[in-house]
Structure 1
Amino acid sequence: MSEHEAPTTAVPADEPGQDEALAHESPADETLERADERAAEPGDQDRRIADLEDAWRRTAAELDNVRKRGARDVVSAREQERAAVAGRWLPVLDNLERALAHASSDPDPVVEGVRAVLAQAVDVLADLGYPRRDDAGRAFDPAVHEAVGTVSGEGLVPGTVAQVVRPGYGSDDRILRPAAVVVATRES
């Protein structure tokens, strides 16, 4: 080999996938190619990181928007439900006004009218899921009753509700207001 000839690297013929162009590359070309690949990788990685950060920021912004939209929807639903409940009470108010308008006349029809309005109000609460409780004679339950006194006497079963002072509203699992009751005790 003369000093003007560049050394060539021969590629063994038994390696598959090698083409003619690669067969004449020098080791220096190979090293430069690897260095170029390594130099290109950080740029690709930086771009990939920037893309992932952008996607993450967009996702975080979308999550924030979903939270805000959910909060607005909850407020809106509450306002609509409050308006619906208030609307259910309007006929009760109308009937109370009618009863008061006739208060100066014969009191018997007025009293009957007020009883009818009371029944209407109880029905409205029952329709809303809070029926009036009939707890007289039931076993005292601190989850649904509020004891305001005790009484003992003949014929009263100890531990039961002897008298309802203020009625409760709701079912056993959904109490709007517990009943204020007097509880029967043993005679001493």
Structure 2
Amino acid sequence: MSNEEKQAPQDQVEDVIESEVAQEDAALVDELTQANFRIEELEQALAEAEAKAAEEKDAALRAVAEMENIRRRAAIDVEKSRKFALEKFANELLPVIDNMERALLGTVEDEAAKAVIEGVELTLKTLMTAVAKFGITPVDPMGEAFNPEHHQAIGMQPSTEYPANTVMLVMQKGYLLNDRLLRPAMVMVSQG
């Protein structure tokens, strides 16, 4: 047997081995390529899932924030309603208080009239105590600086007794309801 004949089966074996290795390499390359495609698909699916989760989280946070805002606004509305529910009733009481104060302005020397005046004073004091319990307070700015937020100027007069822009006469007291203006005080203001 010649050397060539001996090498032929050996070459054949080597060719078969090389062929099998090449097939295995090709199969591995195919598997790696498929694995890479699968990894890319999984990464894309993961990115989509993360984006959806972020959207859902954002939507949930917005819903919670909206609920808190609604709850806070409702609490503020309830508090305002509680504080200022008496506003119409208080406005109806103010002329009564004004009339009682006007009744006390005059001086009377008759004993019978003095008893009536004393009764009016006690009634006014009781009424003022009652309305104060509900947050109604008078604004009597005599001698104070003019404040357009709480005072309504009826006119201005020159005065040597008061500095400029000072309340020198109160025609009608103003009133606050829980620190909110119910009625401005009607005043005469000094001119400088």
TM-score, reference length from structure 2: 0.56
Match of 1:112 among 118, 123, 130: 118
Q: Which amino acid aligns with 2:20?
A: E
Q: What is the match of residue 73 of structure 1? A: 75
1:2 aligns with 2:15: yes
Provide the identity percentage: 23
SS in 2 for 1:137: coil
Q: What is the match of residue 59 of structure 2? A: 57
Q: Relative CO higher for 1 or 2, CA cutoff 8 Å, sep ≥ 6?
A: 2
Q: CA RMSD in A?
A: 3.8
Match of 2:40 among 38, 41, 49: 38
Find the aligned partners of 1:120 and 1:142 in 2 and give their Cα distance.
Answer: 30
1:180 CA drift (Å): 1.4
Q: What is the match of residue 101 of structure 2? A: none
Give the 3 Å change call, closer, same or farther, for CA 132–79 of structure 1 in structure 2.
closer
1:146 aligns with 2:155: no
Give the 3 Å change call, closer, same or farther, for CA 175–107 of structure 1 in structure 2.
same
SS in 1 for 2:15: coil
For residues 165-184 of structure 1, the aligned pairs below 5 Å read: 165-169=171-175, 176=181, 177-184=183-190
SS in 2 for 1:157: coil
Stretches of structure 1 that go unaligned for 5 or more consecutive residues are 10-24, 97-105
Find the aligned partners of 2:73 and 2:147 in 1 and give their Cα distance.
Answer: 37
Find the aligned partners of 1:145 and 1:73 in 2 and give their Cα distance.
Answer: 31
Corresponding pairs, count: 151
SS in 2 for 1:5: helix
Match of 2:29 among 27, 30, 41: 27
Higher Cα Rg: structure 1 or 2? 2
Stretches of structure 2 that go unaligned for 5 or more consecutive residues are 1-13, 98-111
SS in 1 for 2:186: strand
SS in 2 for 1:184: strand
Find the aligned partners of 1:36 and 1:80 in 2 and give their Cα distance.
Answer: 65
Find the aligned partners of 1:5 and 1:180 in 2 and give their Cα distance.
Answer: 110
Q: Contact between 1:130 and 1:175, CA under 8 Å: does it hold in 2?
A: no
Find the aligned partners of 1:143 and 1:81 in 2 and give their Cα distance.
Answer: 20
SS in 1 for 2:189: strand
